[in-house]
Amino acid sequence: MSFFKALCGICYSPKLDNSLWQYQNGVLLLKKEDYEKQNSMGVYMTDGGLPNSVLLFCGDDGVLYAIKNVCSHMHRKIDPIPGSNTLRCCSIMHSNFDYSGRKISGPASRNLVVYDLSQEGNDILIKIN
Ligand code: FES
């Protein structure tokens, strides 16, 4: 991760266009194919009524995960780090987390919030707590 990106808090995961998902009654719904078309390990969704940004990513283990996309230190976004089975916030200080959201290192004071994710056919459903 470049120093400039870290300084500015710019994450590597692209934003998924708001027209490709919907949020209603605490459930974020999107099509798996729309996520896969992004050709990125992770994508994030924000605004559109969501209480906070959400990161969706496919881990190195091939499993889809959804987390609250906010580091508890300075509220920076989170990126999956390919080949490491870990997540890292996009700040200079880089807190690192495992896929269960548990902090591994860094100044974050709390673990990440991991959301319940289920799949029904081509639909991905993420229950936002
Ligand atoms: S925002 Fe500072 S370590 Fe994550």
Task: Calculate how far, in angstroms, residue 25's C-alpha sits from the geometric centre of ligand 1.
Answer: 30
pTM for the model stands at 0.94
The count of domains in the chain is 1
Q: What is the DSSP letter of 18?
A: G
Task: Give the 3-state secondary structure of residue 4.
Answer: helix
Tens digits of residue pLDDT in 4-42: 777 777 889 999 999 999 999 999 999 999 999 999 999
Q: Which domain covers residue 41, as residue numbers?
A: 3-127
**Site residues for ligand 1, CB cut-off 6 Å:** 71, 73-74, 76, 89, 91, 93, 95, 106-108
Over 90: is that where the pLDDT of 58 sits?
Answer: yes
Number of Cβ atoms within 10 Å of the Cβ of 20: 15
In whole angstroms, give the CA distance from residue 5 to residue 11. 7
Which of these, 54, 70, 69, lies nearest to 21 by C-alpha position? 54
Task: Calculate how far, in angstroms, residue 105's C-alpha sits from the geometric centre of ligand 1.
Answer: 10
**pLDDT band of 1, cuts 50, 70, 90:** low
Tens digits of residue pLDDT in 71-120: 999 999 999 999 999 999 988 889 999 999 999 999 999 999 999 999 99
Residue type, 122: N
- Please state the rounded mean pLDDT for residues 57-78: 96
CATH code of 105's domain: 2.102.10.10
